[in-house]
Amino acid sequence: MLTKEQNELVTRTSAGTPMGDLIRRYWIPALMSDEIPTPDCPPAQVKLLGEELVAFRDTNGRIGLLAEHCHHRGTSLFYGRNEECGLRCVYHGWKYDVEGNVLDTPAEPAGSTFKDRMKTTAYPTKEVNGIIFAYMGPQGKIPLFPNYEWAQVAADHCYVTKAYQECNYMQGLEGECDSSHLSWLHRAFTSETDQRLYQTDGAPAYETEETDFGLRLIALRDAGEDQTYVRVSTYLFPCAVAVPVGTKDASGRLDGYEVHTYIPVDDTHSWRFDFGFKRARTVTDKDVHRRQVIGPNFRRIPNAANHYLQDREMQRTKNFTGMVDFLSHDSMATESMGALFDRSQEHLGLSDKAVITVRRHMLDKVKEFQDTGEAPHLVTDPELNVMDHTESTYDVIDGRDWHAHWPHMTSTAQELLSVKDAVPAGR
Ligand code: FES
Ligand SMILES: [Fe+2]
């Protein structure tokens, strides 16, 4: 459990809160590329960390992420005109470039220099494989964009979905760190391969280790005959977890994995961005299966208002929840806690070890940030911008020595460079 004060510290993310200011020090997913697909297309509303923003792609293809409300008298720029390298407010015609400069104030007298003293909030962006990332922290502190493996592959090897979650970001994030729920929440009454592995041992043991990107979370299930089913997830500080999703290739290696990121919309809603990749093939509709359950405005079709389309007959005969897809399972489990769960009311067991470790890490890091102003786990040295050690995967191994099985899963990029021959082929 957390005290009420600790719970407040990690869950509140508006500007000026400790956790909110810390999250603003990282590149975070802001919107999907296809929300603003072409130059001069209509802008998109984006709400992040309690801030109402508008995103647009200008005539030259540059992306702007500005305060939504016009610097003049607050009208929403979402209704504005995206024209000739700028977004123009339709109330009195003020026009902004992607850096927030005011290019024109046509309702002011001719020759006015008023606009030269005006600038609206504008955040730097970076577009990578279908996602537009934003940096919302102080200028002069912008970190390098980490060279994650999914960011290195061709765009058609990458896929992304976005879904609106009706709860605080921490609830979704904690679900990703919690391997034991795989054996229960996601249980289907079959013995096909993945389900058989989940069901081999419903009470996994956990190991955790601190790394330069956050934490490595290892769930170990007894698979019989001195074998262990090992799942490695990686907590990428502050808001993302890489999870082993995919199928094995001919060499027995997982063909890619997914990164699930939870970004606060405000303190009681969040965006779930799932991005995945395939090392050696283009993506298929099957990989992006979640799109079938996500409707307009990224609202899930099964949701709290319709009880996630739960089918009680299915629950008796087919699977644990009576809900069809994993996204509904996870959303039901985390949203039904309430919009912002009071963790002083819970009762944690051994199965919660990974969640406890992640919370402890977040609390430690946010306190350090309060004391020193320094954000942890940033990539600032181009020589050390290698991320293959953040890999998420699973395997059934002899014994329990997963370190020996995956020697490239080091704690730091520096160590990874020293064992780089151990990185599996295919990069
Ligand atoms: S409110 Fe936007 S130009 Fe006046
Ligand atoms: Fe899940």
Domains of the chain: 27-141 (2.102.10.10), 149-420 (3.90.380.10)
- 10-residue stretch averages of pLDDT, the chain, 427 residues long: 96 98 98 98 98 98 98 98 97 98 96 95 97 96 95 95 98 94 91 79 91 96 92 97 93 94 98 96 90 94 97 96 95 98 95 95 98 96 95 94 94 91 70
pLDDT at 199: 82
Question: Atom 4 in ligand 1: which residue has the minimum CA distance?
Answer: 92
pLDDT at 197: 80
pLDDT at 391: 96
What's the 64 CA to ligand 1 centre distance in angstroms? Answer: 18
What's the 36 CA to ligand 2 centre distance in angstroms? Answer: 30
Q: Which ligand is the nearest neighbour of the Cα of 178?
A: 2
pLDDT at 3: 96
Question: Atom 3 in ligand 1: which residue has the minimum CA distance?
Answer: 92
- Nearest-atom number in ligand 1 for the CA of 77 is 2
CB 89 less than 6 A from any atom of ligand 1? yes
What's the 353 CA to ligand 2 centre distance in angstroms? Answer: 16
pTM comes to: 0.96
What's the 45 CA to ligand 1 centre distance in angstroms? Answer: 17
To test the ligand 1 pocket, which listed residue (92, 104, 105) has its Cβ within 8 A of the most ligand atoms? 92
Structure tokens at 427: 């990069």
pLDDT at 290: 87
What's the 70 CA to ligand 1 centre distance in angstroms? Answer: 6
